[in-house]
Amino acid sequence: MTVATTALAAQPQRLTMRPVIRGTQYAVVSMKPEATQAAERILRAGGNAFDAAVAGQAVLAIVDMHNNGVGSDAVLLVYDAKTGKVVSINAEGTAPKLATIEWYKANQGGKLPVDDTLLAGTVPGVVDAWYILLDRWGTMTFAEVLAPAIEIAERGFPLSESVAHAMAKTEKLRKYPSTVKVLFPDGREPQAGQVWRNPQLARTLRRLVEAERAAAGQGRRAALKAARDRFYKGDIAREMARFSEENGGLFRYEDFAEYTAKIEEPVFVDYRGYRVHKNPSATQAPTELFILNLLEGYDLKALKLNSAEYLHISAEAAKLAFADRDKYLGDMDFITIPYKGLLSKEYARERRKLIDENRASPELRPGVPEKFAGMEPLERPLDYTIAEESNHEGDTSYIAVVDKDRNVVSFTPSLHMAFGTGVFMGELGFSFNCRGDYFSLVPGTANALAPGKRPRSTLQSSLVTKDGKPVMALGSPGGDDQCLRTMQTFLNIVEFGMDVQQAIEAPRWTSRAFPSSPFPHVVCPNDLGLEDRIPQEVRDALSAKGHKARVEGPWSIGSNGAIVIDPETGVLSAGADPRVDAYALAW
C-alpha cells in the first residue's frame, strides 16, 4: 500500500443511511420502489427516458396512491438530448368553467373547501402529460408503457406502511360510497403487507389501450391521440362529467374536452456556473430561483452548513422570495409575471439589502421588480391570514429518469393532499387532485380564482445544466416546502461538495413564515422548523435572532430524490431519501 492510499484509507468516511446508486447507462429514482422498477423495466426493454417516466408514474399512481394518481395535476421539466434544450410541461389542472368567486361567495360563504369534495378539485392533467411525453419524444405505445400499471392494479401489491396508514387515517374517505368501494372493498381497515387491488383503475387504463389499438391503422401518433382523447373527450370524460354533476361538483364535459397541458419555455438563473431551470407558469417553482439569486451574494461556505448564520440568511432570503411568489406568480394565461425583473441580479442586490444579518423580520415584504423590467408597478393585493399554526405540507410524488442518450425527465405529479378530493370518480378507480383550494377569493390577486384558470401550485422540481449539458435532476414532495428541499439538496452539492446521497440526507430546515398555499393562506411569522440533528446551540442562536425555532424529528423534513450526471465521466449517481420509501436504481 502506498503512502497516498494509506492516507486516503485513514480519512474518516462520511457514511449515509443509503448508498449512492451509480451507473453509466441509465438511472431512475422515485418515491416508491415499484415505480422505480417499472421505469427500469421499460429502459431495459429499449424504451427511452420519456417512455420510462410514463410507465413509472402510472405505477406510482397506484403504489403511492394517496400522494398522486391518474387524477393528478403535474409539472415536468425535460431535457431533449437531440435538440439540447430544456422544456417545461405544464400539466396543472384548470378550474371548472362554473367556478367563480361569485359562486363561492353565494354558495360557500366565501370559503374554499380545503382538500375535500369535488368543489376543491381541478381537471386532471397527468394523462395529457403522458401523451405529450410519448407523442413528442417517446418511442413506445400506451399499451407497452401502461402494462406494468395494469398488471399491478389487477394482480395487486402489498401495501406499504405509509399507504396503509394514509388509507386508514384519512377520515374524509369513508364519506363517499364510490371511494369506500375502491379502497375498502371488504370493509376492513387496511394493513401493511395486505395485497390490495384496484380493478376499476385497471379497466380505465385498459380503455386507453383499447382506443389506441382501434386507431393503430392510422399510425402511432394518431393511436396515441385516440387514447388521450378517450380520457378527455370520449366516454371517460362523459362519465367524469356525469358523476360530477350528480354529486355536487362543478365539472362539466366541456371542462375536460377543452383541457390541454402546455409546453412552455422554462425560466432559469445561473448560480456559480450552474443553470437552474424551473417551470414558469401556475407554479411556485421560480421562488427557488429568487432565493438562489439572493444567496449568491453570500459566502455560504464561509458561513458553514447549518450554522446559525447560514440558516438565518437562508430563512430571511426565503421570506423575501416567497413574498414575491405570492404577489407575482400565477397562471401566465391570466396574469403578467415580470420575470425580467424578478430574475435579475440587480433586483436581487436591491432585495438583499433588506436582510438584517442579526435579526429576523416578521414582515411579508414583496418588492417592486417591475422597475427592473421597464414596467409600471402592478397593483395587486395580497391574501393571507396570520396565525401560530398552519399546514404548509402537501401530498405529492416524484420520479426522475435519465437514459443512455442523456434524455432527462423530472416529473412531479400530485393530488395535493391525501387522496385529493377524497371522491373516487364513479367506476373509474381514481380521485381528482384538490388543487382548487389554492385559489384566492380576493379579486385582483395573482392567484384569484377564475373559470379555466390554473391555480399557482406548489409543484416544482429542478433540472440543472452546465455548459448546456444536463448535470442534475432534483425533486421533493412537500407542499410549500418543495422549493426549500430541492434548494438545500442543490446547495449541499454545489457549495459543500457533498455527493447526491449525502446532500439528501443532511439535516434540514423549513419555514412557515410566508402564506401557505391552501386556503386561508396562513402566515406563521418568523417560524423556522429544524430537524433535531441541528445542534441545540444553533437553535438557541436562531431564537436569539428572533426566529421561532421549533424542533422536528431527526429524519422528518424531506422526501428527496435526485440524479447527478458527471459531465466528465458520464457516470450517473442517484440518491433516494431514507425519510420516505424512495428508491433509486441505475445500470
pLDDT of 7 higher than 50: no
CA gap 527, 509 in Å, rounded: 11
Q: Are 260 and 128 a contacting pair, CB within 8 Å?
A: yes
Helix (H) or strand (E) holding 385: strand 385-386
Q: pLDDT tens-digit profile of 61-84? A: 999 999 999 999 999 999 999 999
pLDDT on residue 147: 98
CA torsion 138→142→144→149, rounded to 10°? 120
Q: Are 401 and 421 a contacting pair, CB within 8 Å?
A: no
pLDDT on residue 4: 35
Q: pLDDT tens-digit profile of 384-425? A: 999 988 888 888 999 999 999 999 999 999 999 999 999 999
Q: Are 516 and 318 a contacting pair, CB within 8 Å?
A: no
Between residues 13 and 22, which one has the greater pLDDT? 22
CA gap 411, 389 in Å, rounded: 31
Q: In what order do the strands lie in the sheet containing 527-531?
A: 509-510, 527-531, 548-552
Q: In this structure, are strands 195-196 and 157-158 parallel, antiparallel, or unpaired? A: antiparallel
Q: pLDDT tens-digit profile of 228-270? A: 999 999 999 999 999 999 999 999 999 999 999 999 999 999 9
pLDDT of 308 higher than 80: yes
Average of per-residue pLDDT across 437-466:
97
- How is 4-52 classified by DSSP, letter by letter? HHHHHHHSPP---SSPPEEESS-EEEESSHHHHHHHHHHHHTT--HHHH
Determine whether 184 is exposed, middle or buried from the number of CB atoms within 10 Å of its CB (0-12, 13-18, 19+).
middle
Q: Are 251 and 118 a contacting pair, CB within 8 Å?
A: yes
Task: Give the start-end residues of each E strand in 34-140.
Answer: 73-80, 85-91
The Cα angle at residue 493 between residues 492 and 497, in degrees rounded to 5? 95
Q: Are 153 and 199 a contacting pair, CB within 8 Å?
A: yes
Helix (H) or strand (E) holding 124: none
CA gap 423, 418 in Å, rounded: 11
Q: pLDDT tens-digit profile of 538-549? A: 999 999 999 999
pLDDT on residue 34: 98
Distances (CA, A) of 136 to 36, 82, 223, 224, 461: 22, 12, 13, 11, 21
What domains sit in the chain, N to C, each tagged with a CATH number? 14-280+384-587 (3.60.20.40)
Q: Which of 25, 66, 62 is nearest to 47 (CA)?
A: 25
pLDDT cut 70: percent of the chain above it = 98
Average of per-residue pLDDT across 4-18:
55
Give the pLDDT band of residue 576 (cuts 50, 70, 90): very high
Distances (CA, A) of 371 to 295, 344, 374: 21, 11, 5
CA gap 275, 84 in Å, rounded: 14
pLDDT on residue 8: 33
Q: How is residue 550 annotated by DSSP? A: E
pLDDT on residue 392: 80
Cis link prior to 520 (omega < 30° from 0)?
Answer: yes
CA gap 443, 468 in Å, rounded: 41
What's the chain's average pLDDT?
Answer: 96
Q: Which of 241, 247, 239 is nearest to 119 (CA)?
A: 247
Distances (CA, A) of 228 to 71, 129, 130, 233, 540: 14, 10, 8, 8, 55
Give the pLDDT band of residue 5 (cuts 50, 70, 90): very low
pLDDT of 188 higher than 50: yes
